[in-house]
Amino acid sequence: MEEPLKYCLYARKSTEAEEKQALSIDSQIKEMQQIAEREKLNIVEIRRESHSAKESSQRPVFEEIVKDIDTGIFNGIITWAPDRLSRNAGDLGKLVDRMDQRKLIQIKTFGQTFSNSPSDKFLLMILCSQAKLENDNKSINVKRGMRARCEMGLWPVQPPTGYRKPNQRLAKCEVEIDPERADTIRLIFEKISYEKWSVSKVYAWLRYDLNFKTHRGFHLSLGNVFKIINNTFYYGRFEFPQGSGVWYEGKHKPIISKELFDETRNSIKSQTIKSQGKEFAFTRIMKCGVCGSGITADEKFKKLLNGGVNRHVYYRCTKAKDRNCKNPALNETELIESLLDMVDTLNINKVKLTAKLDVEIQKFKKLQAMFLGKKKTEKIEPIDLKDYTKFVLKEGSPLEQRSILECISSELVLKNKIIKTIN
Q: Specify the CATH number for the domain of residue 31.
A: 3.40.50.1390
* 315 is a domain residue: yes
Residue with more model confidence, 414 or 137 = 414
Region 89-104 average pLDDT = 88
* Minimum mean pLDDT range among 6-15, 271-280, 294-303: 271-280
- The parent domain of residue 301 ranges over 286-422
- Which of 299, 294, 293, 295 minimizes the C-alpha distance to 275? 299
* 219 is a domain residue: yes
- Cα–Cα dist 370/364, whole Å: 10
- Cα–Cα dist 97/99, whole Å: 5
Q: Given this model, what pLDDT does residue 20 score?
A: 45
- Phi, psi (5° rounding) for residue 207? -75, -45
**103 and 169, same domain (yes or no):** no
Residue with more model confidence, 143 or 16 = 143
Mean pLDDT for the chain? 81
**Model confidence at 394: pLDDT above 90:** no
Q: Given this model, what pLDDT does residue 16 score?
A: 45
Q: Given this model, what pLDDT does residue 186 score?
A: 96
- Cα–Cα dist 264/229, whole Å: 7
**293 and 267, same domain (yes or no):** no
Region 19-44 average pLDDT = 81
CA distances 267 to 95, 198, 229, Å, are: 60, 9, 11
**48 and 169, same domain (yes or no):** no
Report the CATH number that the domain containing residue 255 is assigned in CATH.
3.90.1750.20
Q: How confident is the model at residue 71 (pLDDT cuts 50, 70, 90)?
A: very high
**324 and 372, same domain (yes or no):** yes
Q: Given this model, what pLDDT does residue 18 score?
A: 45
* Minimum mean pLDDT range among 144-148, 159-163, 361-365, 403-407: 361-365
Q: Given this model, what pLDDT does residue 184 score?
A: 95
- Cβ neighbours of residue 353 under 8 Å, at least 6 residues apart? 385, 388, 389, 404, 407
DSSP 328: P
Q: How confident is the model at residue 160 (pLDDT cuts 50, 70, 90)?
A: very high
Where does a domain end: 225, 254, 276? 276
Let me know: does 279 contact 265? Beta carbons within 8 Å. Answer: no
Burial of 368 (0-12, 13-18, 19+ CB in 10 A): middle
H helix runs in 57-166, sequence order: 60-70, 82-85, 89-100, 118-151
* 192 is a domain residue: yes
Residue with more model confidence, 410 or 161 = 161
Region 394-411 average pLDDT = 77
**Model confidence at 132: pLDDT above 70:** no
DSSP 234: G
* 156 is a domain residue: no
- Cα–Cα dist 246/328, whole Å: 51
The distance from CA 104 to its chain's CA centroid, rounded to whole angstroms, is 44
- Cα–Cα dist 62/66, whole Å: 6
Let me know: does 71 contact 65? Beta carbons within 8 Å. Answer: no
Q: Domains in the chain: how many in total?
A: 3
Residue with more model confidence, 239 or 275 = 239
**107 and 218, same domain (yes or no):** no
